[in-house]
């Protein structure tokens, strides 16, 4: 569907990384972009550079989301915001569970609940959900993150059913390792994350994900690009471990 068919977009996790680049790309395509994140200072800089509308708020506050979209007609929704924590379910604390569910899943569900009915009424809209290979493959660690992203994966398929008969397109972007700040936040040390996860690796960049989103949106209006799995060439998904126990 040509970008000219759309007028507005809302992007979460917009202050840095994938979200910031997506805001830049969509604004350059002529959309009025509503950029949502918690970092007001970075959002202000992004607004100065792109002309987007900055909204500094916490996605876990459903009332704030409701107030934000009231009266807005959002044609393109990009659910990009996400958080993760190290460890599996055996080491997780209450905050790790609640935070990841609140940001990675609950906020996504509420935004779709708030925005999609307007798309259906206008017979026009595109929802883009950023999931992860962690949502479709199993490998060690980050169990709660895997669970939330798996839910986003299933939600993306279900939304196509919910919007049946309307010109509502839904795209799930399923990335491997992308060079963003999330890993520094997970490890609590951006330099350590860079040394251990990025130095010497040909990782994906935020622009690679933004390019995939552009491709899906600008596809002909009769084409729904439902799922894009995008990984670095040298990264393979999944994994198999077999513990041997000798009696």
Which secondary-structure segment (H or E) carries 174? strand 168-175
Which secondary-structure segment (H or E) carries 33? strand 32-37
Strand 53-56 relative to strand 168-175: parallel, antiparallel, unpaired? unpaired
* Residue 68 burial (CB count, 10 A): 19
Catalytic residue among 6, 137, 145, 201: 145
Distance CA 188, CA 207 (A): 24
Is 145 a known active-site residue?
yes
Sign of CA dihedral 190, 95, 129, 237: positive
Q: Around 70, how many Cα atoms within 13 Å sit in the side-chain half-sphere? A: 7
Alpha helices in 51-142 (DSSP H): 62-69, 94-100, 107-122
Q: At what angle do helices 107-122 and 143-162 cross, to 10 degrees?
A: 10
Strand 76-79 relative to strand 8-12: parallel, antiparallel, unpaired? parallel
72 and 6 in contact (C-beta within 8 Å)? no
Output Rg (C-alpha) for the chain, integer angstroms. 18
Distance CA 178, CA 185 (A): 14
Q: Around 208, how many Cα atoms within 13 Å sit in the side-chain half-sphere? A: 17
Name the residues annotated as catalytic.
145
């Amino acid at each position: 569907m040509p970008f000219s068919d759309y007028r507005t977009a809302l992007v979460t996790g917009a202050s840095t990384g994938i979200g910031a680049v997506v805001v830049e790309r969509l604004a350059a395509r002529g959309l009025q972009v509503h950029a949502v994140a918690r970092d007001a200072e970075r959002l202000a800089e992004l607004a100065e550079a792109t002309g987007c509308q900055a909204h500094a708020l916490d996605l876990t506050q459903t009332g704030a989301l409701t107030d934000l979209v009231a009266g807005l007609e959002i044609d393109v929704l990009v659910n990009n915001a996400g958080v993760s924590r190290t460890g599996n379910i055996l080491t997780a604390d209450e905050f790790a569970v609640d935070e990841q569910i609140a940001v990675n899943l609950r906020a996504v569900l509420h935004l779709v609940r708030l925005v999609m009915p307007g798309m259906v009424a206008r017979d026009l809209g595109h929802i883009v959900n950023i999931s992860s290979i962690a949502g479709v493959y199993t490998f060690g660690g980050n169990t709660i993150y895997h669970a939330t992203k798996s839910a986003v994966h299933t939600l993306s398929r279900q939304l196509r059913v919910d919007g049946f008969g309307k010109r509502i397109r839904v795209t799930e972007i399923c990335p491997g390792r992308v060079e963003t700040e999330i890993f520094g936040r997970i490890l609590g040390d951006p330099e350590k994350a860079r040394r251990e996860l990025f130095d010497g690796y040909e990782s994906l960049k935020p622009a690679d994900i933004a390019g995939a989103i552009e491709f899906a949106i600008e596809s002909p209006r009769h084409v729904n690009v439902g799922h894009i799995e995008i990984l670095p060439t040298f990264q393979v998904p999944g994994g198999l471990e077999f513990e041997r126990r000798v009696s």
